[in-house]
C-alpha cells in the first residue's frame, strides 16, 4: 500500500518559563510527522532533547532517511531496525500507530490490547524558582492529587518544604534532574521522608547512579535519564524502585509497551512521563498511564496554546484529548 510521510518542525510558546536544574526553556520545539495513505492520516510528535545529543535538525534528517522505508510499506518493527530509540523514531512510530488504527477502523488501544484511555491523575509541575514563588504555585494547585517539584542543589530542601507547606495533601515527586550527589541523597533523605515525598526522581547523574545500590533508605527512587529502553533495565536493579517511561526515550509506543511489560516483570513500579510537548506528544503515553503508579504528562499544560482538541487539566485530573485526536477515528 502506498503511503506518504512528511515531517516538520513546530514551535509552541510556553505560558511561563520552565526551569529545571540544567536550564530554562520558553518554547517547546517538536517534530511533527504525518503518514498518509488509503484515505487516512496518522500523526506523531517527538521532542528532540539536547541532554541526549538530539536536535530538531538531526531528527528531521533521520526521519528523511527513513521516509522511503515507511512509504513502501515498512512496519513499526522495520522502523525499530532502521532508527535508534529517540525522539525522531518516536514521532514516526506513533504516526504509524495512528495511521494503522484509522486504516483498520479501530483504535490503538484495541490493537494493543489495552484499556481505553480514561482521565488520570497527572502531576502538576512546580518549576525551580525562589521558595516563596514555588509555594505560591503549589498553593494554586493544593487540591491536585499529585505535584512534581523541580529542584537543583541550591535551596532544594527549602523549596520542597515551601511547596509541602503550601500544599499539605498532594502526593509529591521531587525531581533534581541528576543534580545531586550521593552524599546529599544520604544526608537529605530523612528530611524528604519527613516532608512525605512519595518519589525521588533521578537524583544522581546517570553515569554515577551505581552509588544508589549501597544506599539504605525507605525512599522510593525512580530512574529517568538512566532508562531509555528495556535493554537498560538489568543495570537498574538494586538502584531504583521505579522507572520513568518516556516515549521520546523509548522511540515510540511500540518499545514503551515492551519496556513496561519487562519492568513490571522485574518488580519495578511504573511512572509515565513526557517532555514539554503538545497533546500529540502525550496522547500515546496516556495508554500506558492507565497502569502506572505515577503519571507526569502535564507537558501540554505549559503551552500558551496547544493543538486543537488537546488534553485539559481539571484540578490535577488530566482529561484526554477529544475523540479522534489521535489513535482512533472521530
**Superfamily of chain region 120-319:** Enolase-like C-terminal domain (3.20.20.120)
Q: For residue 117, which of 307, 325, 303 has the smallest C-alpha distance?
A: 325
Provide the pLDDT for residue 186.
97
Provide the pLDDT for residue 1.
59
What does 8-32 look like in DSSP terms, one character per residue?
EEEEEEEEEEEEETTEEEEEEEEEE
Enumerate the domain spans of the chain.
4-105, 120-319
Residue tagged 506528544 (cell numbers): 281
Torsions phi, psi for 290 (to 5 deg): -65, -20
Provide the pLDDT for residue 47.
98
Provide the pLDDT for residue 71.
97
Q: For residue 127, which of 150, 148, 147, 154 has the smallest C-alpha distance?
A: 150
Provide the pLDDT for residue 236.
98
What does 104-137 look like in DSSP terms, one character per residue?
HTS-HHHHHT-PPP--EE-PEEE-S--HHHHHHH
Provide the pLDDT for residue 22.
81
Which regions in the chain score pLDDT beneath 50?
none
**Superfamily of chain region 4-105:** Enolase-like, N-terminal domain (3.30.390.10)
Provide the pLDDT for residue 23.
86
The four Cα atoms 107, 110, 112, 114 give a dihedral, to 10 degrees, of 120
Provide the pLDDT for residue 53.
96
Residues recognised as catalytic: 150, 246
Note every long-range contact of 46-50, with CB atoms under 8 Å and residues 24 or more positions apart, other chains counting: 46/86, 46/87, 46/88, 46/89, 46/90, 46/91, 46/248, 46/281, 47/87, 47/248, 47/275, 47/276, 47/277, 47/281, 48/86, 48/87, 48/88, 49/87, 49/248, 49/275
Amino acid at each position: 500500500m502506498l503511503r506518504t510521510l512528511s515531517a516538520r518542525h513546530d514551535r509552541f510558546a510556553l505560558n511561563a518559563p520552565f526551569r529545571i536544574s540544567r536550564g530554562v526553556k520558553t518554547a517547546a520545539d517538536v517534530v511533527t510527522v504525518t503518514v498518509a495513505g488509503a484515505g487516512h492520516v496518522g500523526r506523531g510528535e517527538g521532542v528532540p532533547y539536547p541532554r541526549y545529543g538530539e536536535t530538531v535538525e538531526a531528527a528531521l534528517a533521520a526521519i528523511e532517511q527513513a521516509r522511503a522505508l515507511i512509504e513502501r510499506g515498512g512496519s513499526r518493527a522495520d522502523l525499530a531496525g532502521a532508527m535508534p530509540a529517540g525522539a525522531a523514531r518516536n514521532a514516526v512510530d506513533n504516526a504509524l500507530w495512528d495511521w494503522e488504527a484509522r486504516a483498520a477502523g479501530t483504535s490503538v488501544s484495541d490493537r494493543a490490547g489495552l484499556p481505553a484511555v480514561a482521565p488520570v491523575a497527572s502531576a502538576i509541575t512546580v518549576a525551580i524558582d525562589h521558595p516563596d514563588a514555588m509555594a505560591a504555585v503549589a498553593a494554586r494547585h493544593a487540591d491536585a492529587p499529585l505535584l512534581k517539584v523541580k529542584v537543583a542543589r541550591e535551596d532544594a530542601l527549602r523549596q520542597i518544604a515551601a511547596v509541602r507547606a503550601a500544599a499539605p495533601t498532594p502526593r509529591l515527586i521531587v525531581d533534581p534532574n541528576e543534580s545531586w550527589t550521593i552524599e546529599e541523597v544520604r544526608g537529605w533523605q530523612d528530611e524528604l521522608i519527613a516532608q512525605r515525598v512519595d518519589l525521588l526522581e533521578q537524583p544522581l547523574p546517570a553515569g554515577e547512579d551505581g552509588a544508589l545500590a549501597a544506599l539504605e533508605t525507605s525512599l522510593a527512587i525512580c530512574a529517568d535519564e538512566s532508562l531509555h529502553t528495556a535493554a537498560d533495565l538489568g543495570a537498574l536493579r538494586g538502584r531504583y524502585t521505579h522507572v520513568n517511561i518516556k516515549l521520546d526515550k523509548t522511540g515510540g509506543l511500540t518499545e514503551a509497551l515492551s519496556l513496561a511489560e519487562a519492568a513490571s516483570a522485574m518488580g519495578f513500579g511504573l511512572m509515565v512521563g513526557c517532555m514539554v510537548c503538545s497533546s500529540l506528544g502525550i496522547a500515546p503515553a496516556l495508554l500506558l498511564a492507565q497502569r502506572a503508579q505515577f503519571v507526569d504528562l502535564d507537558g501540554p499544560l505549559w503551552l500558551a496554546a496547544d493543538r486543537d482538541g488537546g488534553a485539559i487539566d481539571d484540578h490535577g485530573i488530566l482529561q484526554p484529548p477529544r475523540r479522534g485526536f489521535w489513535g482512533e477515528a472521530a
